[in-house]
Each structure stands twice: as C-alpha cells, then as structure tokens.
Amino acid sequence: MGLNDSDDTSPNELTAREVYQVLREVVLGRRGMTKVGSQTWDDVYACHFEVDVEGWRISIYNDCDELDYCEQAASPGGQRWNFDPGARTDPIALLSAWEHQSLERMLKAL
C-alpha cells in the first residue's frame, strides 16, 4: 500500500496507519469514543472537532458537516501524529467507504 509512513520515524511519532487503526477499532465497536468539550459536530460545522478514544486525543476536521481529514492525534503515551499537506494520505483516507460513513455517523451522534 502506498503510504507516506516510513520506518525512520522517531519514537515520539505515530504513523497514519496507527491512528487509522484506532479509528477503525472505534467503528468496529472495540473502543469507545467521546467528544472533548461541549460543542457538537453540528456546532463546529467547518472546524476541528476533538474526540477522546480511551486516552487518545484525535482532532478531526468537519468540513461543512462532512468528515474530511485528521488534523492531529496523540496517544496516551505521548506519541503524536500531525497532518502534513504534502503527505499522500492521512488516517481518514485509509478508512474504507463503509468505515468512513460509519465514523461520520458516530461523530454526528456525539
């Protein structure tokens, strides 16, 4: 698979695939997700929406009520992943169509 994730990342950096796996586990019901803050998905409409997935903090961009991309993620251990506009992919892009639609529905329900 053509990912822009290489094995030469520092120990404090996550790969897009690692963040994708956390989001996938949410969709499959293996991990719980809660929103951070009081705003709902509808409230932010065209901005970043932050969620907590069992200690993972993930910021997702809501583009006019549509799940767009992952801005950043931090693991409970302090490792980080940040969006790079020059990269070929982000964790949201790795989701299947069904996973993407399911995650979007779950975010709207928070």
Average pLDDT across the chain, whole number: 90
Global pTM value: 0.87
Q: What is the CA radius of gyration of the chain?
A: 13
For the cut 50, the answer to whether the pLDDT of residue 33 exceeds it is yes
* Residue 87 pLDDT: 78
Domain count for the chain, please give it.
1
Is 3 part of a structural domain of the chain?
no
What percent of the residues of the chain are helix, what percent strand, and what percent coil, each to the nearest 5?
30, 25, 45
Q: Is residue 6 part of a domain?
A: no
Q: What is the mean pLDDT of residues 46-64?
A: 96
* Sign of CA pseudo-dihedral 32, 15, 3, 63: positive
* Domain assignment present for 94: yes
Identify which of 68, 50, 66 has the alpha carbon closest to the alpha carbon of residue 58.
Answer: 50
8 within some domain: no
pLDDT at residue 63 tops 80: yes
Q: Is residue 5 included in any domain, yes or no?
A: no
